[in-house]
């Protein structure tokens, strides 16, 4: 069954293996973005749908079981920026349920397991923050750890110390002495009011806005400088005792009251018995989510008795005595004030709804997508309408529908423009529902093409986001992607808000981008219909841009997942004067035009296993990993006798010590850079 309840069509074993591999790869990438980069690419709702699909396939085809699957592992990797510490007790995840019937089934199953026993449950809001473990000795705070992969976390004690709601010295309870040792689990979050205030101040200073409270909290807690965490005014709410010496409890609710006595901010909870009470509480919590100081993405139902929990036990990943009920995406009503047109990098005109500000999924929304003309007409959406909005995947705001019965008669219909609102060029409707600007020199397209070329999944030029790309274009420094490679520090240092260091960093990032390889270059070029996956297919099939440029349409369309329309687009792009000119200029700039698979066979790291440790200053961890892999190496997270090389940055810790004991070759970041230069020269 799928998440929607529909039966999934029967698939063969080979098809299942391909789909399982695809889902595992995608979920691993999403996990890395969520846990390690604090930058979720999709909503929890959409992530859960993918996870459920993978679970169903793994259950149907157990022969493809893998202990490294995202359905088995927990959380993200532990960053080398911090010391890694083994958790005394694993910080497990929770089993998700998505309907009241599933929540009721959990309650019914537990009650059936203990027939004749009056089983009670607790219901708590599920905070959308960063899970941590807090350790106390004789009432004094000693250490704070992130969840990490559930078994090992990052030592972020220096940042936890800045959180006022985390007691540094516990209050002695009335009925007993302070515990000799106590480990509690909680959730670090950024209060909604603080998030709004910080973003308002950042907007006034012209700084990039924080995406949402969860990302802001996670990013703040995983900083090396504790002053950043202090400025962000984080809070922490605890919800579980992981271990305690010198105190005994019969129920979960008793432990929460004990934690409250000790001085913690404790999760609000209700004790419930019947299925009806529990389901009513889930509904109440969902309707009351805006009353909490933190964002919530669900509610947690737990067995209250600790003895019954012990009998129910756990799997390797989740306890059997609790479930997390996930709320569907939030929808709100607001007024559509106007409709503006945005021009994308391919010239597509997209209507944007300008909205009366409304709080939605933890942020204030003032604009939303309307997709295209057909979408507006089919739903009879008019300027001045009361409309229903939600965040598609709780990330991108979108208008769902209008509410005609709330019209006053002053609403007006919207008509698509016949000329581009940016360059005044002609606009034509394509074979689908999109209107496209066909102006050859449209600035809006040029700016977005620059930003796309530099984006993470393309050439990954750190520091060249949309705002910088627009600045480079508007000042005349860069009009095409190839011109990025002629930028100098002196050019950039003269621009507003560009300090010497940021100019040096951007020039260095542009230089590093030359080695991204053919697949990412093809995606970066912005060829219509060529996404990241198509870029990989083309790179594997042709190996170099020369062979691809010489390919006939029939060769292209014969490749898997590339149809006639895509083949036509690729052929047309490489046959155009603009396409050929851009490729030549990029080649002249030294951009690699071959598949990394081809380069890797003879790369400087070919056949070697490399470990990165400590803080790198020239490269991000992802950039260094990509470079090593592009030159034939494999990056590992742990040091062993099979390790070929350790690259040690600043404040390298236990991995460096272990490498030295094992006699593994260790190089500094400068020596690593020299190896890259040597490899490039070879």
Question: In sequence order, what E strands does 31-180 have?
Answer: 84-86, 95-97, 121-127, 130-137, 140-146, 152-154
**Given 17, 19, 81, 126, the catalytic residue:** 126
d(CA 403, CA 336): 11
Structure tokens at 304: 């209250």
Bridge partners (DSSP) listed for residue 383: 412
Residue 343 tokens, joined:
């021009």
Residue 50: which residues within 8 A CB-CB, separation 6 or more? Answer: 23, 26, 27, 30
Tell me which residue of 440, 119, 123, 99 sits closest to 281, measured CA to CA: 123
Residue with tokens 């560009």: 498
108 and 119 Cβ atoms separated by less than 8 Å: no
Please state, in angstroms and rounded to a whole number, the distance separating the CA atoms of residues 239 and 541: 53
Reported for 371-378, long-range contacts at CB under 8 A and 24+ positions apart, including other chains, are: 371/398, 371/433, 372/433, 372/434, 372/435, 373/416, 373/433, 373/435, 374/433, 375/433, 376/339, 376/351, 376/414
- 208 counts as catalytic: no
Q: Are 633 and 605 in contact (CB under 8 A)?
A: yes
User: In the 3-class helix/strand/coil scheme, how is 411-451 assigned residue by residue?
Assistant: CECCCCCCECCCCCCEEEECCCCCEEECCCCCHHHHHHHHH
CA-nearest of 548, 528, 546 to 537 is 548
- CA angle at 27 for the pair 390 and 643, rounded to the nearest 5°: 145
**Residues recognised as catalytic:** 126
């Amino acid at each position: 069954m799928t998440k929607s309840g529909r039966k999934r069509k029967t698939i063969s074993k080979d098809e299942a293996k391909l789909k399982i591999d695809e889902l595992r790869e995608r979920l691993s990438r999403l996990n890395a973005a969520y846990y390690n980069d604090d930058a979720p690419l999709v909503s929890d709702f959409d992530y859960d749908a993918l996870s459920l699909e993978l679970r169903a396939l793994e259950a149907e085809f157990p022969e493809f079981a893998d202990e490294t699957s995202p359905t088995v592992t927990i959380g993200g990797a532990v960053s080398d920026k911090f010391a890694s510490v083994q958790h005394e007790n694993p910080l497990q995840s929770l089993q998700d349920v998505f309907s009241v019937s599933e929540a009721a089934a959990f309650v019914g199953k537990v009650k059936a397991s203990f027939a004749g026993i009056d089983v009670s449950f607790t219901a708590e809001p599920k905070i959308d923050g960063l899970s941590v473990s807090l350790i106390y000795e004789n009432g004094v705070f000693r250490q704070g750890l992130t969840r990490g992969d559930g078994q090992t976390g990052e030592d972020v004690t220096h940042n936890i110390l800045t959180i006022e709601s985390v007691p540094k010295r516990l209050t002695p309870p009335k009925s007993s002495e302070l515990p000799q040792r106590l480990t509690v689990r909680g959730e670090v979050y950024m209060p909604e009011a603080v998030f709004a205030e910080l973003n308002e101040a950042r907007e006034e200073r012209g700084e990039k806005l924080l995406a949402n409270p969860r990302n802001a909290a996670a990013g703040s807690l995983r900083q090396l400088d504790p002053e950043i965490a202090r400025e962000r005014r984080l809070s922490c709410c605890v919800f579980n005792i992981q271990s305690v010496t010198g105190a005994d409890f019969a129920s979960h609710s008793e432990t929460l009251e004990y934690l409250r006595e000790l001085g913690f901010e404790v999760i609000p909870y209700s004790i419930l018995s019947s299925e009806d009470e529990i389901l009513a509480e889930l509904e109440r919590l969902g309707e009351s989510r805006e009353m909490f100081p933190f964002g919530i993405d669900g509610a947690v139902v737990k067995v209250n008795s600790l003895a019954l929990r012990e009998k129910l036990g756990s799997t390797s990943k989740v306890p059997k005595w609790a479930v997390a009920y996930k709320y569907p995406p939030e929808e709100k009503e607001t007024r559509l004030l106007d409709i503006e047109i945005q021009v994308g990098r391919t010239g597509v005109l997209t209507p944007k709804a300008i909205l009366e500000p409304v709080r939605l999924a933890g942020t204030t929304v003032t604009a939303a997508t309307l997709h295209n003309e057909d979408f507006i007409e089919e739903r009879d959406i008019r300027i001045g309408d009361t409309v229903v909005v939600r965040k598609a995947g709780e990330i991108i705001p979108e208008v769902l529908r209008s509410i005609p019965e709330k019209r006053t008669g002053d609403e007006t219909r919207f008509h698509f423009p016949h000329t581009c609102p940016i360059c005044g060029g002609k606009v034509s409707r394509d074979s689908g529902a999109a209107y496209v600007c066909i102006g050859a020199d449209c600035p809006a397209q040029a700016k977005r093409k620059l930003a796309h070329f530099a984006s993470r999944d393309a050439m990954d030029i750190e520091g060249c986001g949309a705002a910088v790309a627009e600045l480079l274009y508007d000042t005349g420094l860069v009009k095409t992607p190839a011109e990025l490679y002629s930028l100098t520090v002196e050019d950039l240092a003269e621009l507003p808000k560009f300090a010497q260091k940021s100019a040096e960093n951007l020039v260095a990032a542009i230089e590093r981008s030359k080695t991204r390889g053919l697949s990412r270059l093809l995606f970066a070029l912005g060829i219509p219909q060529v996404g990241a996956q198509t870029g990989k297919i083309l790179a594997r099939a042709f190996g170099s841009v020369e062979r691809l440029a010489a390919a006939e349409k029939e060769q292209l369309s014969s490749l898997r997942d590339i149809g006639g329309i895509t083949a036509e687009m690729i052929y047309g792009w490489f046959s155009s004067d603009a396409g050929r000119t851009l490729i030549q200029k990029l080649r002249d700039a030294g951009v690699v035009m071959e598949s990394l698979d081809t380069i890797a066979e003879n790369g400087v790291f070919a056949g070697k296993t490399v470990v990165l440790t400590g803080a790198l200053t020239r490269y991000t961890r992802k950039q260094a990993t990509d470079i090593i892999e592009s030159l034939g190496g494999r990056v590992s997270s742990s040091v062993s006798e099979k390790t070929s090389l350790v690259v040690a940055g600043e404040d390298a810790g236990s991995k460096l010590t272990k490498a030295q004991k094992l006699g593994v070759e260790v190089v500094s970041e400068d020596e690593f850079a020299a190896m890259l230069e040597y490899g490039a020269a070879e």
